[in-house]
Amino acid sequence: MKIKIIAAIVIASSLFTYSCTDLDEELYDRVEDGDFGQTPGEIQALVGGAYSSLRGFGDAISNSYPTCEYVFFLNEVASDEATIPTRGTDWYDGGQYQDAQRHMWNADNRMILSSWRYCYTGIAKINSIIYQIDKSGLSDEAKAPIYAELKSIRAYYYYNLLDMFGNVPIVTNFEDQGLPSNSSRQEVYDFVESELLEALPLLPANKVYSKFTQSVAYSLLARLYLNSEAFVGVPRWVDCIEMCQKVTGYSLTTDYFASFLTENQTSSEIILAIPYDSAAGTVGNYLSSMSCHYLHRLTMSPTGDYQWSGNGICAQPGVYSTFEDVDKRKKAMLQGDQINMATGNVIVMDSGEPLTYTEEIVNFTNAKQNEGVRLHKYEMKAGEKWERDHDWVVIRYAEILMMQAECYVRLGSPGLAEPFIQQITSRAGTEMPAVIDLEFLDKELLREFIFEGKRRTDNIRFGTFFQPWWEKGTSDPTKAIFPIPASVLSTNTNLVQNPGYN
C-alpha cells in the first residue's frame, strides 16, 4: 500500500513539475521590431533598407523589379520604343504584353499591379523605418537628416505613382492601418514637391554616389516641373530650368556607354543609380536575358559561357532606323546575324533558320524567334551571373541637359537650347540640327534615353502617346495614367478607380 502511495506521489509531482504553460515566442534568427534600432549600426541597417527597397522584389503576387519584370516592361511596352511580341506560345502570358502594347490594358494586368506594389511596398517600408527611427533614442538633431533622406526616397516613389497612376492615396504614417482614400493627382503633385523642398536643406550638398543628395532632389523637382503640364495642366518650364541649374558637379562622359558598363559606378554622369552586385545578393537585374534569343549565349564565347536568355523584349519596328548609322548610340541595339563563336557561322535556330535579328516584326501576335532588334545598352560579358552587376541608372546628367533644352524650346527660345544639344550630339557623333524644335527633341530624347524606362512619360508630354503607332490606334486621354490595380480596389473599398477604367 505504501508503495502505491509513493508511486502516486511520484507521478503526481511529475505532473506539476512539467506544468508549464509559457507560450511566449522565443526568437533566435530574427528580431522583433521593438528590439531593433538602438545602436548607430542598427540605425544604418534600417536606413539601408530604404535604399535596398529601390531594387524592388518578386513574390507570389507580382514581380516588382524596376529593371525588367514588370515595372520597366510596362513603361517600355506602353511607349513607342519597345515591344514584347508573342512568339508561338512564348510571351503570351495571358495577353498582358499585347494589351499594354495596344493601350488596351485593364485593371487586372499584372504589370500594372507590379508597378503599384513596387512603389507602395517601398513607401510602407520607409514609413516603418521612420517609425523605428522615431522610437530610437536618437536626438532630434540626429533624426532630422535621416528623415530628410528617407522622405526624399519616399517622394521618389510618390513621383512614380504620380506619373503612372495619378490619383493615389498618400500614406505617411506606419501606425495608421485604416484603409486610405485617393488623393487627387494635384494633391500628390503638391505632396511630392513639398516633401522634396522640405528635405532639400538637410540632404547632403556634395556628390555621394547612389545616395539621395541635393542634386537628386533638384533633378526630381526638375522632372516634376517638366511634366507639370502633363500631370496637372500647369506648365512650369522656368521652374524646371531653375532646378536644373542647381544640379552641379556632374558632366557627360566621353563615351556614351561608360554609364552602362558593368563597373559604371565611376561614371561622372550618373546622378542617381540603384547599385547592384550579385555577390551581395541583389536580385532582379537580368534585362539582357529577357531580350536576347534563347541561343544568344553562343555569340558570347566559344563555350557559350553566358546565361540563358528568354527572347522577349525588343525594339518596336521603326526605332532602329530612327538612328543614323554614325550615331554611336545605335549600338544600344543588336541587329543582324548572330555568330556562333565556336564555329564562326551564323547560329541556326530550332526552325533551321539563321538567327538574324531584324528590325521588322511581321506578326506581332506570332512573331518569328529572330524578329526585333535587341536591347544592348548595358554591357554583356561572357561568364557573368544571372544577376548582373551593373548599377541601374535612374538619373544621369544628359537628362538635365535635355530638360533645359526642351524648356527653352517650349518657352520659345530654341537658341538657348543649342549649347545643351551641342553636348549631346557631339558625344553621339551626330550633326546639330538646323532647327531645334519639339519634333527634333522628341526623336533626340528617344535616341539619347533609349531603353531607360523614360519614354512613356516623354510620349505623354509630347502628345504622341495618344496618336496611332504601329500596333495601336488612337489612345484615349485617360490612358495617360494606369488604372488602380483590381486586386487593390477590391480589398480597399475606399478607393475610387481612375477615370475611364470603370
Partner 1 sequence: MNSTHINKVHEKRTSKMLVFLMFMLFLSAGVFAQQKKLVSGVVYDTTNFALPGVTVTEVGTTNVTVTDADGKFAFQVTIGSSIEVSYIGYVSQTVVVDANTSTFTLKLQEDTFMLDAVELVSVGYGTMRKSDLTGAISTVNADDLVKGAISSTEQVLQGKVAGLTITRGTGDPSSGSSIRLRGGTSLTASNNPLIVVDGIAGVDINVVQPNDIKSIDVLKDASATAIYGSRGANGVIIITTKGGTKGMSINYNGFTGVGFASNRLDLLSADQWRGYVRDNNITDAIDFGGNTNWQKELEQTAFTQSHTLGINSGNENSGLRTSLSYFDNEGIIKTSGIERLSANISTYQYVLDKALKFDMGLYANIDKWSPLDYRIFERAINLNPTIPVYDANRNFTSVGGTLYENPVEILTNRKVDNKRHRLLGYFKTEAKLFNDFLAVVNTSLEHNAMQGSTYKPSYAVLEGLSERGYAQKTYGEFTNAQIEAYVNYTKTLGKNNFNAMIGYSYLENIYEGFGAQRSGFETDIFGYNNLGAGYNYRLGDVYSYKGKSNLASFFGRANYSYDGKYMLTGTVRRDGSSRFGANNKWGVFPSASAAWTISRENFMESTSNWLSNLKFRVGYGVTGNQDGIGEYKSLSILGVGQDSYYDPVTGTWSLAYSPTQNPNPDLKWESTAQTNIGIDFSLFDRITGSFEWYNKTTKDLLYTYQVPQPPYLVGVMLANVGELSNKGIELSLNANIVKGDKFSWDANLVFAKNKQKIEKLSNQIYETEEIFSGSLHGLSGMSNQFSQIIAEGYAVGTFWGYESLGVDESGEIILGTEQKAIGDVQPDFTIGLGMNFNYGNFDAGFTGYGSFGQEVLNATDMMLYDNNRLPAYNVADDFLTSGITSAPQFSSYWIEDASFFRLQTVTLGYTMPFKKAGTKLRVYVLGENLAVFTKYSGVDPEIDLTGLSNPGIDRFNNYPRPTTISFGLNFTLAN
Q: Segment contacting partner 1 (CB under 8 A): 30-38, 133-141, 371-379, 392-400?
A: 30-38
The correct pick among 24, 140, 141, 325 for binding partner 1 (CB under 8 A) is 24
Amino acid at 499: P
Q: Using CA atoms, how far apart are residues 81 and 192, in angstroms rounded to an integer?
A: 28
Binding mask 117-136 for partner 1 (x = CB under 8 A): x--xx-xxx--xx-------
Q: Segment contacting partner 1 (CB under 8 A): 209-217, 319-327, 449-457, 466-474?
A: 209-217
CB of 154 to partner 1, least distance (A): 12
Q: Which of 181, 192, 272, 182 shows the shortest CA–CA distance to 231?
A: 192
CB of 262 to partner 1, least distance (A): 15
Contact status: 368 vs partner 1 (CB under 8 A): no
Contact status: 44 vs partner 1 (CB under 8 A): yes
Residue with cell 535616341: 447
- Are 193 and 185 in contact by the 8 Å Cβ rule? The answer is no
Contact status: 86 vs partner 1 (CB under 8 A): yes
Cβ-based nearer residue to partner 1, 24 or 141: 24
Q: Using CA atoms, how far apart are residues 118 and 129, in angstroms rounded to an integer?
A: 17
Contact status: 179 vs partner 1 (CB under 8 A): yes
Chain positions 446 to 475 lying near partner 1, rule: CB under 8 A, are: none
As given in the structure block, the three cell numbers for residue 434 are 538646323
Q: Using CA atoms, how far apart are residues 346 and 474, in angstroms rounded to an integer?
A: 40
At residue 228, the 3 state secondary structure works out as helix
Dihedral sign computed on CA atoms, order 363, 364, 370, 373: positive
What's phi and psi for 499, nearest 5 deg? -60, 145
Contact status: 31 vs partner 1 (CB under 8 A): yes
The correct pick among 137, 233, 352, 412 for binding partner 1 (CB under 8 A) is 352
Q: Segment contacting partner 1 (CB under 8 A): 87-95, 133-141, 329-337, 438-446?
A: 87-95
Taking CA atoms, 278 is separated from 52, 267, 384, 385, 387, in Å, by 13, 20, 10, 7, 5
Chain positions 305 to 324 lying near partner 1, rule: CB under 8 A, are: 305-308, 310-311
Q: Which of 337, 333, 338 shows the shortest CA–CA distance to 377?
A: 333
CB of 453 to partner 1, least distance (A): 20
Work out the number of other CB atoms within 10 angstroms of the CB of residue 25.
Answer: 5
Q: What is the DSSP secondary structure assignment for residue 265, as one 8-state letter?
A: G
Cβ-based nearer residue to partner 1, 59 or 325: 59
Cβ-based nearer residue to partner 1, 365 or 413: 365
Q: Using CA atoms, how far apart are residues 216 and 310, in angstroms rounded to an integer?
A: 34
CB of 19 to partner 1, least distance (A): 6
- Are 461 and 231 in contact by the 8 Å Cβ rule? The answer is no
Contact status: 257 vs partner 1 (CB under 8 A): no
Contact status: 490 vs partner 1 (CB under 8 A): yes
Cβ-based nearer residue to partner 1, 46 or 405: 46
CB of 340 to partner 1, least distance (A): 9
Q: Where are the beta strands (DSSP E) in 304-458?
A: 314-315, 333-334, 336-337, 356-357, 374-375, 392-396
Q: Using CA atoms, how far apart are residues 153 and 95, in angstroms rounded to an integer?
A: 33
Cβ-based nearer residue to partner 1, 160 or 228: 160
CB of 190 to partner 1, least distance (A): 18
Contact status: 304 vs partner 1 (CB under 8 A): yes
Q: Which of 158, 393, 399 shows the shortest CA–CA distance to 287?
A: 393
Contact status: 362 vs partner 1 (CB under 8 A): no
As given in the structure block, the three cell numbers for residue 220 are 526630381
The correct pick among 66, 169, 372, 453 for binding partner 1 (CB under 8 A) is 169
Contact status: 343 vs partner 1 (CB under 8 A): no
Q: Segment contacting partner 1 (CB under 8 A): 223-231, 348-356, 440-448, 459-467?
A: 348-356
Cβ-based nearer residue to partner 1, 304 or 429: 304
Contacts within 8 Å (CB) and 24+ apart, 416-422: none
Q: Using CA atoms, how far apart are residues 188 and 168, in angstroms rounded to an integer?
A: 7
Residue with cell 536618437: 138
Contact status: 295 vs partner 1 (CB under 8 A): yes
Contact status: 58 vs partner 1 (CB under 8 A): no
Cβ-based nearer residue to partner 1, 383 or 415: 383
Cβ-based nearer residue to partner 1, 128 or 478: 128
Contact status: 297 vs partner 1 (CB under 8 A): yes
What's phi and psi for 394, nearest 5 deg? -105, -50
Contact status: 292 vs partner 1 (CB under 8 A): no
The correct pick among 36, 147, 257, 470 for binding partner 1 (CB under 8 A) is 36
